[in-house]
Amino acid sequence: MKLWFSFIKELKLASRGFYFYIEIFMALLILAVLLFAVPENFESKQTEYIHLNLPEMNKKIYLQKIKKMDINGSFEEVEIEVDNKLIQSKFYETEDKKIYIINEKDDLIKLADKNRKLGAVIKLNKNNKLEYEYYLQGYESKRLKNLYLISHIEDTDTLIKALENQDVRPLEADYDTLTDRENIIPIVLTFNGALMGLFIIAAYIFLDKQEGVIKAYAVTASSVWQYLLSKIGVLLVTSILSSLIVLLPIMGTQPNYLLLLLLLLTTGFFASSLGLLIASFYDNIMQAFGTIYLFMLVIIIPNIAYIIPGWDPIWVKILPSYPILYGFKEILLKNGDINYILKVSLGFLVVGLILFAISNRRYKKTLTV
Site size with other proteins, rule: CB under 8 A: 24
| Whole-Å CA distances, 230 to 79, 243, 350 | 65, 20, 19
Binding residue for other proteins, selected from 65, 215, 334, 343, defined by CB under 8 A? 215
| Residue from 6, 243, 256, 266 in contact with other proteins (CB under 8 A) | 6
The verdict on 212 binding other proteins (CB under 8 A) reads yes
Asked if 365 is part of the footprint of other proteins (rule: CB under 8 A), the reply reads yes
The answer to whether residue 213 forms part of the interface with other proteins (CB under 8 A) is yes
| Choices 5-13, 107-115, 131-139, 168-176 (CB under 8 A): range interacting with other proteins | 5-13
**Nearer to other proteins (CB atom), residue 90 or residue 231:** 231
Cα(359)–Cα(295) distance, rounded to whole angstroms?
17
> Quick one: which segment of 79-87, 97-105, 195-203, 215-223 binds other proteins (CB under 8 A)?
215-223
CB of 227 to other proteins, least distance (A): 9
- Of 4-12, 244-252, 262-270, 275-283, which part binds other proteins (CB under 8 A)? 4-12
- Looking at beta carbons only, is 221 or 308 nearer to other proteins? 221
Q: What is the 3-state secondary structure (H, E, C) of the chain?
A: CHHHHHHHHHHHHHHCCHHHHHHHHHHHHHHHHHHHCCCCCCCCCEEEEEEEECCHHHHHHHHHHHHHHCCCCCCEEEEEEECCEEEEEEEEECCCEEEEEECCHHHHHHHHHHHCCEEEEEEECCCCCEEEEEECCCCCCHHHHHHHHHCCCCCHHHHHHHHHHCCCCCCCCCCCCCCHHHHHHHHHHHHHHHCCHHHHHHHHHHHHHHHCHHHHHHCCCCCHHHHHHHHHHHHHHHHHHHHHHHHHHHHCCCCCHHHHHHHHHHHHHHHHHHHHHHHCCCCCHHHHHHHHHHHHHHHHCHHHHHHCCCCCCHHHHHCCHHHHHHHHHHHHCCCCCHHHHHHHHHHHHHHHHHHHHHHHHHHHHHCCC
Closest CB 361 distance from other proteins, rounded Å: 12
From candidates 168, 173, 258, 369, binder to other proteins by CB under 8 A: 369
For position 284 contacting other proteins by CB under 8 A, the verdict is: no
Please identify, among the stretches 3-11, 163-171, 283-291, 322-330, the one whose residues bind other proteins according to the rule CB under 8 A: 3-11
For other proteins, which residue of 211, 293, 312, 354 counts as binding (CB under 8 A)? 211
Minimum gap (Å) between residue 22 Cβ and other proteins: 16
Task: Give whichever of 224 and 276 is closer to other proteins, judged by the CB atom.
Answer: 224
Tell me which stretch binds other proteins (CB under 8 A): 37-45, 56-64, 214-222, 264-272.
214-222
* Interaction mask 216-255, other proteins, x per CB under 8 A: xxxxxxxx--------------------------------
- Interface with other proteins includes 368 (CB under 8 A)? yes
**CA–centroid distance for 182 within its chain:** 9
Q: Which DSSP state fits 192?
A: I
Site for other proteins in 8-47 (CB under 8 A): 9, 12-13, 16-17
- Strand ranges of the sheet holding 76-82, from the earlier edge strand across to the other edge: 76-82, 85-93, 97-102, 46-53, 118-124, 130-135
Check binding of 134 to other proteins (CB under 8 A): no
349 is a contact residue toward other proteins (CB under 8 A): no
Rule CB under 8 A: which residues touch other proteins? 1-2, 5-6, 9, 12-13, 16-17, 211-213, 215-223, 365, 368-369
